[in-house]
Structure 1
Amino acid sequence: MFSRQAPVSSHPAAVGRDSRGWQLQVWVSFALAVSLCGTGLAWLPGQDLDRAFMVMGYVFCLTAVFVLSKSVRDQQSTAAESPLWRLVVWGGFAVAMGLTGWGLLRMNISETYKAYLGVSWLYLVSSAFTLAKTLRDAHEAALAQARAEARAQLRRDLQQGQTSDSQ
């Protein structure tokens, strides 16, 4: 039996990517959040121990955000993570947020200053989630494009091999 092959395109399929405007907005937002938090912590009245606690809390929250983002994204594509790993990831995020919030609330500073630090901290966490997603999307798009280009090259090579065999 004769089977007809569909024509093979030499152009790989387009891979969806975030716009440069979106990427710029995400990075500017994250930088602004870091700046606001840094300014608030640099001018934090009170004891150095309070400032050190808050810096550690903010850094702990940032790392927990990136780990949680990766874990949630990985879980969508595969179920390779164990329940204990999910407990560690979600627990770490909850502990980071809880301890930082507790530290902020127990500080002996004005309510206005607590509000500034709290809002800038939540902005930092929110923008870090968005940054993590944007970075992961860019990485996955680059992988998808590389796979598409490799498939297209393989098809071209196969077509050239078929053409030279028929001659």
Structure 2
Amino acid sequence: MICRREGPQARLWSRNALNWTQRLPRIAGGLLELPCRSCVLDGEAVVQLPDGRDDFHALRSAAGARNAMLMAFDLLELDGRDLRALPLEERRAELRRLVEAGPVDGVAFVDAIDEDGEALFRHACRLGLEGIISKRRDSPYRSGRSQAWLKSKCAGYVRHGEQ
């Protein structure tokens, strides 16, 4: 999900270019709490279950969508500065400072785990998660698929609520 704040307005766009601003009011409100004039964040909208897992299926319901949070993992623009050419590591450092500057409801910074990818993937699958995303720390931002990132899905993953 791409989330844009420009002054007092927030806009949320799905990967399929659908406007989700009205559907996800908690995230839109959280963007307006960030200490900046403008920003563009990349992240995943999720509804968290009591056990800490994410329930993507819940986004389909109005009640679930109202409680969704943005798990932010990249910062593309901040106060008019285009950050896309910077290495991921630098963009994430800026994102952490922005999100953690004060309490923000609806937007959370997603920590990166710099560990053995194969072991982390196996652990994610044992926990019943969908999978992991691996990104090169030194890569600039590129929309769409690229050699700089890899999505690894767990075999047999079933979204919560589906059988």
Q: TM-score, normalised by structure 1?
A: 0.25
Q: TM-score, normalised by structure 2?
A: 0.26
Indicate the structure whose relative CO is greater, using CA pairs within 8 Å and at least 6 residues apart.
1
Larger strand fraction of residues: 2
